[in-house]
Amino acid sequence: MNTSITLPAVAKLNLFLHITGRRADGYHNLQSIFQMLDYGDELTFTRKDTSELCLRCNQTELESQDNLVLRAARLLQQQSQTSFGADIYLHKRLPLGGGLGGGSSDAATTLLALNQLWGLHLSIEQLAQLGLQLGADVPVFVHGRTAFAEGVGEQLTPIELPERWYLVVTPDCHVSTAEIFQHPALPRNSAPLRYDQLKTAEWRNDCQSLVEQLYPNVALTLQWLLEYAPSRMTGTGASVFAGFTDKMQAEKALSTMPSFCRGFIARGVSESPVVAALAKAHVSSQGVAPAAP
Task: Output the DSSP codes for 208-226.
Answer: HHHHHHH-HHHHHHHHHHT
Clarify whether 48 is annotated catalytic.
no
- The verdict on whether residue 235 carries a ligand-binding annotation is no
Active-site entry in 41, 106, 137, 206: 137
- The verdict on whether residue 243 carries a ligand-binding annotation is no
List Cα–Cα distances, 94 to 42, 150, 169, 219, in angstroms: 10, 25, 11, 21
188 HSE (CA, 13 A, CB side): 15
- The verdict on whether residue 96 carries a ligand-binding annotation is yes
- The verdict on whether residue 156 carries a ligand-binding annotation is no
Q: Give residue-wise pLDDT tens across range 135-158.
A: 999 999 999 999 999 998 889 999
Active-site entry in 12, 41, 92, 206: 12
> Comparing C-alpha atoms, which of 124, 56, 65, 70 is closest to residue 278?
124
Which domains are delineated in the chain?
Answer: 1-286 (3.30.230.10)
Give the pLDDT score at 290: 43
Q: Give residue-wise pLDDT tens across range 165-214.
A: 999 999 999 899 899 999 999 999 999 999 999 989 999 999 999 999 99
The Cα–Cα gap between 128 and 200 comes to 30
- The verdict on whether residue 287 carries a ligand-binding annotation is no
Give the pLDDT score at 291: 42
Average pLDDT over residues 118-139: 96
The Cα–Cα gap between 54 and 63 comes to 9
Predicted TM-score of the model (pTM): 0.94
Question: In this model, does residue 110 exceed pLDDT 80?
Answer: yes
- The verdict on whether residue 97 carries a ligand-binding annotation is yes
Clarify whether 247 is annotated catalytic.
no
Evaluate whether 170 touches 262 at the Cβ level (below 8 Å). Answer: yes
Give the pLDDT score at 26: 83
> Comparing C-alpha atoms, which of 106, 28, 117, 24 is closest to residue 72?
106
Average pLDDT over residues 16-24: 94
Cβ partners under 8 Å of residue 106, min gap 6: 9, 41, 43, 67, 68, 69, 72, 90
Cis peptide before 238 (omega within 30 of 0): yes
The Cα–Cα gap between 107 and 128 comes to 11
- The verdict on whether residue 268 carries a ligand-binding annotation is no
Per-residue buried b or exposed e for 251-286, using 16+ beta carbons within 10 Å of the residue's own CB? eebbeebeeebebbbbebbeebbbbebbeebeeeee
CB atoms near residue 60 (< 10 Å): 8
